[in-house]
């Protein structure tokens, strides 16, 4: 299974350039940048404007971006406008207390409601996971066990959708199973879980992270050809999110171009 040590190991590369947004809680971002730079998870620069952060990412002035404490609406709007997206798809990295890290999607309440959307999450999320040198093992969640069919039209539909997604995933050559509603078992054997819909995915995220104190390293946008890690402004430390952004760039031995030169210490 995935563990933080693997991510921090892959993240080691002082040559990489990471940008992080700073809006509120500036001290938390500054201390995180200092620790991340000292740990050689790339060289991180702070941006206090969402558009400038995203523009720097698109131009290649930075290799990856972390939202940090920038306003969510401003950051996501900048991403969509700059890259011509009509929606963003995020996959969150979650770690239950005492458990292994797994990837979770969808986490936006308006995402993942159709078979096509789940397949897109499965395909793009798997591609992202492989960039870190990890083989994705996918569990498609539904609203009940197979034996629960007939109890509710909504449960039946979620099971039918999950089985269809599994069938498509297998045809794509992916390691994917129907995990039913048994998330307590799925997190032990699967490293990428796809919830029945965005509401249930968001509730899983909130229950684990905000109620029970599980780790959330961030939520990379997977329908983007650049690395952008979305984060909650409530995070106290962004070191793990910076490391995740660096790790998503892949093998540190591969040299990357840096058009545009070095950005200044602070943008905006």
- Asked whether residue 104 falls in the same domain as residue 84, the answer is no
- Asked whether residue 139 falls in the same domain as residue 70, the answer is no
Give me the pLDDT at residue 109, please.
Answer: 85
Range of the domain at 147: 91-215
Tell me: pLDDT of 97 over 90: no
* 39-70 residue pLDDT tens: 999 999 999 999 999 999 999 999 999 999 99
Domain annotation covers residue 262: no
- Asked whether residue 57 falls in the same domain as residue 9, the answer is yes
Give pTM, 2 decimals: 0.84
Find the CATH number of the domain harbouring 120: 3.40.50.10750
214 vs 87, residue with greater confidence:
87
Domain annotation covers residue 151: yes
Domain annotation covers residue 265: no
Domain annotation covers residue 264: no
What is the Cα–Cα distance from 21 to 30, expressed in whole angstroms?
A: 10
Domain annotation covers residue 160: yes
- Asked whether residue 80 falls in the same domain as residue 30, the answer is yes
- Give the model's confidence band at 251: pLDDT under 50 very low, under 70 low, under 90 confident, else very high: low
* 144-176 residue pLDDT tens: 999 999 999 999 999 999 999 999 999 999 999
Find the CATH number of the domain harbouring 71: 3.40.50
Domain annotation covers residue 261: no
Q: How many domains does the chain contain in total? A: 2
């Amino acid at each position: 299974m995935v563990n933080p040590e693997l991510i921090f190991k892959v993240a080691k590369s002082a040559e990489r350039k990471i940008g992080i947004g700073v809006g509120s809680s500036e001290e938390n971002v500054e201390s995180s940048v200092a620790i991340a730079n000292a740990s050689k998870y790339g060289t991180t620069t702070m941006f206090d404007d969402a558009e400038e952060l995203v523009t720097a990412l698109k131009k290649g002035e930075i290799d990856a971006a972390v939202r940090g404490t920038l306003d969510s609406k401003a950051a996501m709007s900048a991403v969509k406008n700059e890259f011509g997206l009509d929606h963003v798809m995020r996959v969150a990295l979650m770690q239950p207390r005492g458990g292994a890290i797994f990837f979770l999607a969808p986490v936006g309440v308006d995402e993942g409601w159709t078979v096509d959307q789940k397949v897109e999450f499965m395909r793009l999320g798997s591609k992202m996971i492989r960039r870190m040198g990890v083989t994705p093992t996918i569990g498609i969640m539904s609203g009940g066990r197979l034996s629960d069919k007939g109890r509710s039209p909504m449960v039946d539909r979620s099971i039918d959708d999950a089985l269809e997604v599994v069938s498509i995933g297998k045809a794509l050559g992916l390691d994917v199973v129907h995990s039913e509603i048994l998330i307590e078992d799925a997190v032990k054997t699967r490293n990428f879980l796809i919830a029945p819909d965005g509401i249930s995915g968001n509730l899983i995220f909130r229950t684990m992270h905000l109620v029970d104190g599980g780790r959330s390293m961030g939520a990379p946008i997977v329908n983007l050809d650049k690395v952008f890690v979305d984060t909650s402004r409530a995070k106290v430390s962004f070191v793990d999110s910076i490391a995740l952004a660096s790790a998503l760039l892949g093998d540190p031995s591969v040299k990357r171009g840096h058009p545009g030169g070095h950005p200044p210490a602070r943008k905006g």
